[in-house]
Amino acid sequence: MTVSNIKEVVSERLGERYFEIEHDSGLKMIVYPKENYASSYVIFGTRYGSIDTAFRLNDDREFTCVPEGIAHFLEHKLFESEEIDAFDRYSKTGANANAYTSFDRTCYLFSCTGKLKENLEILLDFVTHPYFTEQTVQKEQGIIGQEIKMTQDDPNWALLFSVLQAMYKYHPVQIEIAGTVESISHITADLLYKCYNTFYNLENMVFCAVGNVDVDTVLEVADRILVRKDKVRIERKFFEEPDGVNKAYVESEMAVTAPLFALGFKENIRTPERTTRELILSQCIIELLSGKTSKLYNELLGDGLINSNFSSEYLFGYGYSSLIFSGESEKYDEVAKRIKAEIDRLSREGIAADDFERVRRMQYGRLIMSFNDIDDIANGVVASYFAGESIFEDAEVLSSITLDEINDRLRSSVHTDCCSLSVIKPKGE
Protein backbone atom coordinates (compact mmCIF):
# COMPACT_ATOMS: atom_id res chain seq x y z
CA MET A 1 0.00 0.00 0.00
CA THR A 2 1.45 3.35 -1.07
CA VAL A 3 -0.75 5.83 0.79
CA SER A 4 0.92 8.33 3.08
CA ASN A 5 -1.92 8.90 5.52
CA ILE A 6 -5.37 7.59 6.47
CA LYS A 7 -7.45 9.55 8.96
CA GLU A 8 -10.87 8.80 10.38
CA VAL A 9 -13.10 11.88 10.57
CA VAL A 10 -16.01 11.64 13.02
CA SER A 11 -18.95 13.94 13.74
CA GLU A 12 -20.31 13.27 17.21
CA ARG A 13 -23.12 15.71 16.50
CA LEU A 14 -24.31 13.84 13.42
CA GLY A 15 -23.25 10.33 14.36
CA GLU A 16 -21.45 10.04 11.01
CA ARG A 17 -17.89 9.17 10.00
CA TYR A 18 -15.68 8.76 6.96
CA PHE A 19 -12.06 8.03 6.10
CA GLU A 20 -9.84 10.71 4.58
CA ILE A 21 -6.89 9.41 2.60
CA GLU A 22 -3.90 11.43 1.43
CA HIS A 23 -2.91 9.13 -1.40
CA ASP A 24 0.70 8.96 -2.49
CA SER A 25 -0.35 10.16 -5.95
CA GLY A 26 -1.41 13.49 -4.45
CA LEU A 27 -5.14 12.74 -4.69
CA LYS A 28 -7.40 13.40 -1.70
CA MET A 29 -9.68 10.36 -1.35
CA ILE A 30 -12.78 10.15 0.85
CA VAL A 31 -14.25 6.73 1.66
CA TYR A 32 -17.61 7.02 3.41
CA PRO A 33 -19.03 3.59 4.38
CA LYS A 34 -22.76 3.47 5.14
CA GLU A 35 -24.03 0.41 6.98
CA ASN A 36 -26.94 -1.56 5.49
CA TYR A 37 -26.60 0.12 2.08
CA ALA A 38 -26.50 -2.26 -0.90
CA SER A 39 -25.42 0.32 -3.47
CA SER A 40 -22.33 2.47 -3.94
CA TYR A 41 -22.02 5.99 -5.35
CA VAL A 42 -18.60 7.23 -6.49
CA ILE A 43 -17.47 10.65 -7.76
CA PHE A 44 -14.12 11.71 -9.18
CA GLY A 45 -14.05 15.50 -9.56
CA THR A 46 -11.76 18.34 -10.47
CA ARG A 47 -11.97 21.97 -9.46
CA TYR A 48 -12.43 23.10 -13.04
CA GLY A 49 -15.61 24.55 -14.50
CA SER A 50 -17.00 26.85 -17.13
CA ILE A 51 -15.79 30.02 -15.37
CA ASP A 52 -12.14 28.95 -15.76
CA THR A 53 -11.62 30.78 -19.05
CA ALA A 54 -8.33 32.35 -17.91
CA PHE A 55 -5.59 30.86 -15.72
CA ARG A 56 -1.91 31.20 -14.97
CA LEU A 57 0.55 28.42 -14.10
CA ASN A 58 3.54 28.46 -11.76
CA ASP A 59 5.68 31.41 -12.87
CA ASP A 60 3.73 32.44 -16.02
CA ARG A 61 3.67 36.19 -16.48
CA GLU A 62 0.44 36.30 -18.45
CA PHE A 63 -2.90 34.54 -18.10
CA THR A 64 -3.76 31.88 -20.66
CA CYS A 65 -7.21 32.51 -22.16
CA VAL A 66 -9.14 29.55 -23.59
CA PRO A 67 -12.40 29.27 -25.56
CA GLU A 68 -15.67 29.45 -23.67
CA GLY A 69 -17.16 25.99 -23.10
CA ILE A 70 -13.86 24.10 -23.14
CA ALA A 71 -14.35 22.54 -19.67
CA HIS A 72 -17.66 21.02 -20.77
CA PHE A 73 -16.10 19.95 -24.08
CA LEU A 74 -13.28 18.23 -22.22
CA GLU A 75 -15.77 16.37 -20.03
CA HIS A 76 -17.41 14.90 -23.14
CA LYS A 77 -14.12 13.95 -24.78
CA LEU A 78 -12.63 12.26 -21.74
CA PHE A 79 -15.00 9.30 -22.03
CA GLU A 80 -13.35 8.36 -25.34
CA SER A 81 -10.18 6.35 -25.76
CA GLU A 82 -8.23 4.88 -28.63
CA GLU A 83 -9.81 1.47 -28.00
CA ILE A 84 -13.20 1.60 -26.24
CA ASP A 85 -15.58 4.24 -24.92
CA ALA A 86 -15.92 4.37 -21.10
CA PHE A 87 -19.70 4.02 -21.35
CA ASP A 88 -19.23 0.77 -23.28
CA ARG A 89 -16.99 -0.48 -20.50
CA TYR A 90 -19.58 0.44 -17.87
CA SER A 91 -22.30 -1.36 -19.83
CA LYS A 92 -20.49 -4.62 -19.16
CA THR A 93 -20.50 -4.09 -15.40
CA GLY A 94 -24.08 -2.85 -15.07
CA ALA A 95 -23.09 0.47 -13.50
CA ASN A 96 -25.05 3.66 -14.07
CA ALA A 97 -22.45 6.24 -15.14
CA ASN A 98 -22.62 9.95 -15.86
CA ALA A 99 -20.71 13.24 -15.66
CA TYR A 100 -21.44 16.93 -15.33
CA THR A 101 -19.75 20.30 -15.70
CA SER A 102 -20.89 23.23 -13.58
CA PHE A 103 -19.59 26.77 -13.18
CA ASP A 104 -16.88 25.62 -10.74
CA ARG A 105 -16.21 21.91 -11.17
CA THR A 106 -16.34 18.86 -13.43
CA CYS A 107 -17.30 15.48 -11.96
CA TYR A 108 -17.39 11.92 -13.26
CA LEU A 109 -19.55 9.45 -11.37
CA PHE A 110 -21.16 6.05 -11.25
CA SER A 111 -23.53 4.11 -9.03
CA CYS A 112 -23.66 0.34 -8.76
CA THR A 113 -24.89 -2.53 -6.63
CA GLY A 114 -22.04 -4.88 -7.52
CA LYS A 115 -18.64 -5.15 -9.20
CA LEU A 116 -17.36 -2.14 -7.29
CA LYS A 117 -13.71 -2.92 -7.99
CA GLU A 118 -14.27 -3.23 -11.74
CA ASN A 119 -16.19 0.04 -11.85
CA LEU A 120 -13.51 1.83 -9.83
CA GLU A 121 -10.91 0.63 -12.32
CA ILE A 122 -12.92 2.08 -15.22
CA LEU A 123 -13.42 5.44 -13.50
CA LEU A 124 -9.85 5.98 -12.35
CA ASP A 125 -8.46 4.68 -15.65
CA PHE A 126 -10.39 6.79 -18.18
CA VAL A 127 -10.23 10.01 -16.16
CA THR A 128 -6.44 9.75 -15.87
CA HIS A 129 -5.77 8.66 -19.47
CA PRO A 130 -6.96 11.31 -21.96
CA TYR A 131 -7.08 10.68 -25.69
CA PHE A 132 -7.72 13.57 -28.08
CA THR A 133 -7.10 13.92 -31.83
CA GLU A 134 -8.01 16.72 -34.20
CA GLN A 135 -10.37 14.37 -36.04
CA THR A 136 -12.33 13.38 -32.93
CA VAL A 137 -12.39 16.99 -31.73
CA GLN A 138 -13.96 18.14 -35.00
CA LYS A 139 -16.57 15.39 -34.74
CA GLU A 140 -17.42 16.45 -31.17
CA GLN A 141 -17.77 20.09 -32.22
CA GLY A 142 -20.74 19.08 -34.34
CA ILE A 143 -22.31 17.01 -31.57
CA ILE A 144 -21.95 19.66 -28.86
CA GLY A 145 -23.02 22.35 -31.31
CA GLN A 146 -26.38 20.58 -31.62
CA GLU A 147 -26.59 20.32 -27.84
CA ILE A 148 -26.00 24.07 -27.51
CA LYS A 149 -28.78 24.82 -29.99
CA MET A 150 -31.19 22.62 -28.03
CA THR A 151 -30.46 24.36 -24.72
CA GLN A 152 -31.12 27.71 -26.39
CA ASP A 153 -34.73 26.56 -26.84
CA ASP A 154 -35.13 25.89 -23.10
CA PRO A 155 -36.83 28.98 -21.59
CA ASN A 156 -35.71 28.30 -18.00
CA TRP A 157 -32.07 27.84 -19.06
CA ALA A 158 -32.25 31.00 -21.18
CA LEU A 159 -33.81 32.88 -18.25
CA LEU A 160 -30.97 31.96 -15.88
CA PHE A 161 -28.23 33.19 -18.20
CA SER A 162 -30.24 36.24 -19.16
CA VAL A 163 -30.37 37.42 -15.53
CA LEU A 164 -26.69 36.52 -15.01
CA GLN A 165 -25.73 38.57 -18.08
CA ALA A 166 -27.81 41.43 -16.72
CA MET A 167 -26.08 41.30 -13.32
CA TYR A 168 -22.48 40.62 -14.40
CA LYS A 169 -20.44 42.65 -16.84
CA TYR A 170 -17.12 40.77 -16.87
CA HIS A 171 -17.38 37.58 -14.81
CA PRO A 172 -17.64 34.40 -16.96
CA VAL A 173 -20.50 33.08 -14.80
CA GLN A 174 -22.65 34.90 -17.36
CA ILE A 175 -21.36 32.56 -20.11
CA GLU A 176 -23.37 29.43 -20.89
CA ILE A 177 -21.59 26.38 -19.53
CA ALA A 178 -21.31 24.68 -22.93
CA GLY A 179 -20.14 27.89 -24.61
CA THR A 180 -21.39 28.87 -28.05
CA VAL A 181 -21.15 27.19 -31.44
CA GLU A 182 -18.61 29.84 -32.42
CA SER A 183 -16.48 29.55 -29.26
CA ILE A 184 -16.15 25.76 -29.37
CA SER A 185 -15.05 25.97 -33.02
CA HIS A 186 -11.70 27.28 -31.69
CA ILE A 187 -11.07 24.23 -29.48
CA THR A 188 -8.18 22.02 -30.59
CA ALA A 189 -6.64 18.80 -29.31
CA ASP A 190 -3.61 20.76 -28.09
CA LEU A 191 -5.82 23.14 -26.09
CA LEU A 192 -7.67 20.19 -24.55
CA TYR A 193 -4.38 18.64 -23.45
CA LYS A 194 -3.23 21.96 -21.99
CA CYS A 195 -6.42 22.33 -19.93
CA TYR A 196 -6.34 18.66 -18.95
CA ASN A 197 -2.71 18.81 -17.76
CA THR A 198 -3.50 21.97 -15.81
CA PHE A 199 -6.74 21.12 -14.03
CA TYR A 200 -6.70 17.33 -13.98
CA ASN A 201 -3.58 17.25 -11.87
CA LEU A 202 -4.50 14.92 -9.00
CA GLU A 203 -3.74 17.57 -6.39
CA ASN A 204 -6.52 19.69 -7.93
CA MET A 205 -8.98 16.79 -7.70
CA VAL A 206 -10.95 14.81 -5.13
CA PHE A 207 -12.37 11.29 -5.06
CA CYS A 208 -15.34 10.21 -2.96
CA ALA A 209 -16.92 6.76 -2.56
CA VAL A 210 -20.08 6.41 -0.42
CA GLY A 211 -22.34 3.53 0.58
CA ASN A 212 -21.34 -0.10 0.29
CA VAL A 213 -17.63 0.71 0.10
CA ASP A 214 -14.47 0.04 2.10
CA VAL A 215 -11.01 1.54 2.28
CA ASP A 216 -9.11 -1.60 1.26
CA THR A 217 -11.02 -2.06 -2.01
CA VAL A 218 -10.62 1.58 -3.00
CA LEU A 219 -6.91 1.62 -2.20
CA GLU A 220 -6.22 -1.65 -3.98
CA VAL A 221 -7.46 -0.09 -7.23
CA ALA A 222 -5.99 3.38 -6.63
CA ASP A 223 -2.52 2.00 -5.86
CA ARG A 224 -2.46 0.20 -9.22
CA ILE A 225 -3.74 3.03 -11.41
CA LEU A 226 -2.87 6.42 -9.92
CA VAL A 227 0.57 7.90 -10.53
CA ARG A 228 2.03 11.04 -8.96
CA LYS A 229 2.98 13.81 -11.38
CA ASP A 230 4.69 17.15 -10.92
CA LYS A 231 2.61 19.53 -8.87
CA VAL A 232 0.99 22.37 -10.79
CA ARG A 233 0.25 25.69 -9.09
CA ILE A 234 -2.88 27.15 -10.66
CA GLU A 235 -3.94 30.77 -10.35
CA ARG A 236 -7.54 31.27 -11.40
CA LYS A 237 -8.34 34.74 -12.66
CA PHE A 238 -10.47 36.90 -10.37
CA PHE A 239 -12.73 39.03 -12.57
CA GLU A 240 -13.36 42.24 -10.69
CA GLU A 241 -16.89 43.54 -11.15
CA PRO A 242 -18.00 47.18 -10.94
CA ASP A 243 -20.37 48.13 -8.15
CA GLY A 244 -23.95 47.72 -9.28
CA VAL A 245 -25.34 45.58 -12.07
CA ASN A 246 -24.65 45.54 -15.78
CA LYS A 247 -28.32 46.17 -16.71
CA ALA A 248 -31.32 46.72 -14.45
CA TYR A 249 -33.86 45.27 -16.89
CA VAL A 250 -33.73 42.96 -19.90
CA GLU A 251 -36.46 41.20 -21.82
CA SER A 252 -36.80 38.77 -24.71
CA GLU A 253 -39.42 36.60 -26.40
CA MET A 254 -39.69 32.83 -26.61
CA ALA A 255 -42.36 30.17 -27.09
CA VAL A 256 -43.81 30.39 -23.56
CA THR A 257 -47.46 30.53 -22.50
CA ALA A 258 -46.97 33.18 -19.80
CA PRO A 259 -44.16 35.60 -18.92
CA LEU A 260 -41.20 34.14 -17.03
CA PHE A 261 -39.14 36.33 -14.73
CA ALA A 262 -35.89 36.16 -12.79
CA LEU A 263 -34.95 38.81 -10.24
CA GLY A 264 -31.28 38.66 -9.24
CA PHE A 265 -29.57 40.53 -6.39
CA LYS A 266 -25.84 40.78 -7.00
CA GLU A 267 -23.51 40.91 -4.01
CA ASN A 268 -20.63 43.29 -4.57
CA ILE A 269 -17.60 41.34 -3.37
CA ARG A 270 -13.91 42.14 -3.15
CA THR A 271 -12.52 38.64 -2.49
CA PRO A 272 -13.19 35.59 -4.67
CA GLU A 273 -14.22 33.05 -2.00
CA ARG A 274 -17.28 32.86 0.24
CA THR A 275 -17.09 31.02 3.56
CA THR A 276 -19.38 28.18 4.61
CA ARG A 277 -20.82 30.54 7.22
CA GLU A 278 -21.69 33.14 4.59
CA LEU A 279 -23.20 30.43 2.40
CA ILE A 280 -25.44 29.07 5.15
CA LEU A 281 -26.50 32.53 6.30
CA SER A 282 -27.51 33.41 2.73
CA GLN A 283 -29.41 30.13 2.34
CA CYS A 284 -31.32 30.95 5.52
CA ILE A 285 -32.05 34.45 4.19
CA ILE A 286 -33.52 32.98 1.00
CA GLU A 287 -35.76 30.70 3.08
CA LEU A 288 -36.81 33.54 5.38
CA LEU A 289 -37.64 35.80 2.44
CA SER A 290 -39.46 33.45 0.11
CA GLY A 291 -39.69 29.92 1.53
CA LYS A 292 -43.11 28.30 1.49
CA THR A 293 -43.68 29.19 5.14
CA SER A 294 -42.69 32.84 4.63
CA LYS A 295 -45.07 35.79 4.82
CA LEU A 296 -44.03 37.04 1.36
CA TYR A 297 -44.52 33.72 -0.43
CA ASN A 298 -48.01 33.20 0.96
CA GLU A 299 -49.07 36.75 0.18
CA LEU A 300 -47.82 36.51 -3.40
CA LEU A 301 -49.52 33.15 -3.83
CA GLY A 302 -52.76 34.31 -2.22
CA ASP A 303 -52.90 37.38 -4.47
CA GLY A 304 -52.43 35.24 -7.58
CA LEU A 305 -49.10 36.86 -8.46
CA ILE A 306 -47.10 33.61 -8.48
CA ASN A 307 -47.80 29.91 -8.81
CA SER A 308 -46.06 26.69 -7.77
CA ASN A 309 -43.28 27.35 -10.30
CA PHE A 310 -41.86 30.10 -8.08
CA SER A 311 -38.37 29.29 -6.74
CA SER A 312 -35.32 30.95 -5.25
CA GLU A 313 -31.65 30.09 -4.85
CA TYR A 314 -28.36 31.40 -3.58
CA LEU A 315 -25.89 31.13 -6.45
CA PHE A 316 -22.25 31.52 -5.48
CA GLY A 317 -18.77 30.53 -6.52
CA TYR A 318 -15.31 31.88 -7.27
CA GLY A 319 -15.82 35.62 -7.67
CA TYR A 320 -19.63 35.70 -7.80
CA SER A 321 -22.51 35.67 -5.33
CA SER A 322 -26.20 36.41 -5.88
CA LEU A 323 -29.74 35.69 -4.71
CA ILE A 324 -32.11 34.81 -7.56
CA PHE A 325 -35.93 34.64 -7.42
CA SER A 326 -37.71 33.24 -10.48
CA GLY A 327 -41.14 32.14 -11.60
CA GLU A 328 -44.07 32.68 -13.93
CA SER A 329 -46.32 35.73 -13.63
CA GLU A 330 -48.34 38.13 -15.75
CA LYS A 331 -47.50 40.82 -13.15
CA TYR A 332 -43.77 40.20 -12.85
CA ASP A 333 -43.12 43.87 -12.12
CA GLU A 334 -45.42 43.74 -9.09
CA VAL A 335 -43.70 40.56 -7.86
CA ALA A 336 -40.30 42.26 -8.16
CA LYS A 337 -41.64 45.33 -6.32
CA ARG A 338 -42.97 43.18 -3.47
CA ILE A 339 -39.73 41.19 -3.11
CA LYS A 340 -37.68 44.37 -2.92
CA ALA A 341 -40.09 45.89 -0.44
CA GLU A 342 -39.79 42.83 1.82
CA ILE A 343 -35.99 42.95 1.66
CA ASP A 344 -36.04 46.63 2.59
CA ARG A 345 -38.47 45.97 5.45
CA LEU A 346 -36.41 43.14 6.93
CA SER A 347 -33.20 45.15 6.55
CA ARG A 348 -34.82 48.06 8.35
CA GLU A 349 -36.75 46.20 11.07
CA GLY A 350 -34.58 43.11 11.40
CA ILE A 351 -35.56 39.45 11.08
CA ALA A 352 -37.84 38.25 13.88
CA ALA A 353 -36.23 35.87 16.37
CA ASP A 354 -39.04 33.29 16.01
CA ASP A 355 -38.74 33.28 12.20
CA PHE A 356 -34.97 32.91 12.38
CA GLU A 357 -35.17 29.97 14.78
CA ARG A 358 -37.86 28.26 12.68
CA VAL A 359 -35.77 28.49 9.52
CA ARG A 360 -32.55 27.50 11.29
CA ARG A 361 -34.22 24.35 12.60
CA MET A 362 -35.75 23.63 9.20
CA GLN A 363 -32.36 23.90 7.47
CA TYR A 364 -30.79 21.69 10.13
CA GLY A 365 -33.48 19.07 9.61
CA ARG A 366 -32.92 19.07 5.85
CA LEU A 367 -29.20 18.67 6.46
CA ILE A 368 -29.75 15.66 8.72
CA MET A 369 -32.02 14.03 6.12
CA SER A 370 -29.41 14.53 3.40
CA PHE A 371 -27.10 12.08 5.20
CA ASN A 372 -29.52 9.29 4.28
CA ASP A 373 -28.85 9.83 0.57
CA ILE A 374 -25.49 8.60 -0.71
CA ASP A 375 -25.78 10.84 -3.80
CA ASP A 376 -26.18 13.93 -1.61
CA ILE A 377 -23.31 12.87 0.62
CA ALA A 378 -20.89 12.36 -2.27
CA ASN A 379 -21.72 15.64 -3.97
CA GLY A 380 -21.59 17.41 -0.60
CA VAL A 381 -18.14 15.99 0.11
CA VAL A 382 -16.83 17.26 -3.23
CA ALA A 383 -18.30 20.74 -2.74
CA SER A 384 -16.97 20.92 0.82
CA TYR A 385 -13.48 19.77 -0.15
CA PHE A 386 -13.19 22.38 -2.89
CA ALA A 387 -14.29 24.97 -0.32
CA GLY A 388 -11.50 23.76 1.98
CA GLU A 389 -13.81 22.32 4.63
CA SER A 390 -15.44 19.09 5.81
CA ILE A 391 -18.99 18.11 4.95
CA PHE A 392 -19.64 18.10 8.70
CA GLU A 393 -18.93 21.83 8.90
CA ASP A 394 -22.49 22.77 7.85
CA ALA A 395 -23.97 21.18 10.96
CA GLU A 396 -21.54 23.02 13.22
CA VAL A 397 -22.35 26.34 11.55
CA LEU A 398 -26.12 25.81 11.65
CA SER A 399 -25.93 25.04 15.34
CA SER A 400 -24.01 28.24 16.12
CA ILE A 401 -25.27 31.02 13.83
CA THR A 402 -27.05 33.87 15.59
CA LEU A 403 -29.84 36.30 14.83
CA ASP A 404 -27.37 39.19 14.82
CA GLU A 405 -25.22 37.41 12.23
CA ILE A 406 -28.09 36.80 9.83
CA ASN A 407 -29.31 40.39 10.12
CA ASP A 408 -25.79 41.65 9.45
CA ARG A 409 -25.47 39.32 6.47
CA LEU A 410 -28.78 40.52 5.00
CA ARG A 411 -27.87 44.20 5.37
CA SER A 412 -24.35 43.79 3.98
CA SER A 413 -25.00 41.45 1.04
CA VAL A 414 -28.51 42.10 -0.33
CA HIS A 415 -29.27 45.58 -1.68
CA THR A 416 -32.40 46.50 -3.62
CA ASP A 417 -30.49 49.05 -5.69
CA CYS A 418 -28.17 46.31 -6.96
CA CYS A 419 -30.52 43.97 -8.79
CA SER A 420 -31.54 42.94 -12.30
CA LEU A 421 -34.91 41.81 -13.62
CA SER A 422 -35.00 39.53 -16.65
CA VAL A 423 -38.31 38.75 -18.36
CA ILE A 424 -39.12 36.29 -21.14
CA LYS A 425 -42.47 37.15 -22.78
CA PRO A 426 -44.60 34.99 -25.07
CA LYS A 427 -43.78 35.57 -28.73
CA GLY A 428 -45.73 38.41 -30.28
CA GLU A 429 -46.89 39.88 -26.97
Q: Identify the band that residue 331 occupies on the pLDDT scale cut at 50, 70 and 90.
A: very high
Q: Centre a 10 Å sphere on the Cβ of residue 242 and count the other Cβ atoms it contains.
A: 10
Residues 228-238 have a mean pLDDT of: 90
Element (H, E) at 407: helix 403-413
Statement to judge: residues 193 and 56 lie in one domain: yes
Question: Among candidates 74, 296, 285, 371, which has minimal Cα distance to 200?
Answer: 74
| CA neighbor of 272 nearest in space, from 154, 397, 388, 379 | 388
pLDDT tens-place string over residues 308-322: 999 999 999 999 999
Residue 4 has a pLDDT of 63
Does the pLDDT of residue 324 top 80, yes or no? Answer: yes
Handedness of CA 34, 39, 44, 50 (dihedral sign): negative
Same domain, 145 and 286: no
Which helix (H) or strand (E) segment is 95 a member of?
Answer: none
Query: What DSSP character marks residue 47?
Result: S
Ramachandran angles phi, psi of 357, nearest 5°: -65, -35
Residue 97 lies in a domain: yes
Query: Is 185 among the domain residues?
Result: yes
CA dist., res. 202 & res. 222, Å (int): 12
Please, which pLDDT band fits residue 153 given cuts at 50, 70 and 90? confident
What is the predicted pLDDT for the residue at 152? 84
Same domain for 145 and 57: yes
Per-residue pLDDT, 270: 87
Tell me: do 10 and 142 sit in the same domain.
yes
Tell me: do 167 and 261 sit in the same domain: no
Question: What was the pLDDT predicted at 83?
Answer: 82
Q: Are residues 321 and 342 in the same domain?
A: yes
Predicted confidence (pLDDT) at residue 14 exceeds the cutoff of 60: yes
Q: What is the mean pLDDT of the chain?
A: 95
pLDDT for the residue 25: 94
Kindly state whether residues 264 and 211 are assigned to the same domain: no
What confidence category does residue 2 fall into, taking pLDDT thresholds of 50, 70 and 90?
low
Query: Where does residue 12 fall: left (phi above 0), alpha (psi -120 to 50 degrees), or beta otherwise?
Result: alpha
Q: Are residues 255 and 367 in the same domain?
A: yes
* 242 within a domain of the structure (yes/no): no
Instruction: Report the distance separating Cα 58 and Cα 230, nearest Å.
Output: 11
Task: Identify the domain boundary among 236, 263, 284.
Answer: 236
Distance of CA 403 to CAs 28, 357, 359, Å?
Answer: 36, 8, 11
Query: pLDDT at position 230, please?
Result: 85
Q: Which of 205, 236, 267 is the last residue of a domain?
A: 236
Q: How confident is the model at residue 3 (pLDDT cuts 50, 70, 90)?
A: low
Q: Looking at 236, 269, 290, which one is the last position of a domain?
A: 236
Question: Per-residue pLDDT averaged across 367-380, rounded?
Answer: 96
* Inside any domain, residue 265: yes
75 part of the active site: yes
Shared domain for 86 and 222, answered yes or no, is yes
Q: What is the mean pLDDT of residues 293-301?
A: 95
Residue 300 has pLDDT above 70, yes or no: yes
CATH for 22: 3.30.830.10
For residue 243, tell me if it sits in a domain: no
In a domain, 194, yes or no: yes
Shared domain for 262 and 231, answered yes or no, is no
What is the rounded distance in angstroms from the CA atom of residue 198 to the CA atom of residue 195? Answer: 5
Would the pLDDT of 334 be above 90? yes
Evaluate whether residue 48 is within a structural domain.
yes
The lowest-confidence range among 225-239, 340-354, 392-406 is 225-239
Listed range (79-88, 214-223, 416-425) with the worst mean pLDDT:
79-88
Residue 244 domain-assigned (yes or no): no
Domain total of the chain: 2
Looking at the structure, do residues 37 and 142 belong to the same domain, yes or no? yes
pLDDT of res. 428: 79
Question: How much of the chain, in percent, has pLDDT values that exceed 90?
Answer: 92
Q: Are residues 134 and 253 in the same domain?
A: no
Position 171 pLDDT exceeds 90: yes
pLDDT > 60? residue 141:
yes
Question: Residue 149 and residue 275: Cα distance in Å, rounded?
Answer: 36
What's the rounded Cα separation, in Å, for the pair 215 and 310?
43
Domain containing 100 equals 5-236
Which of 75, 80, 176, 267 is labelled catalytic?
A: 75
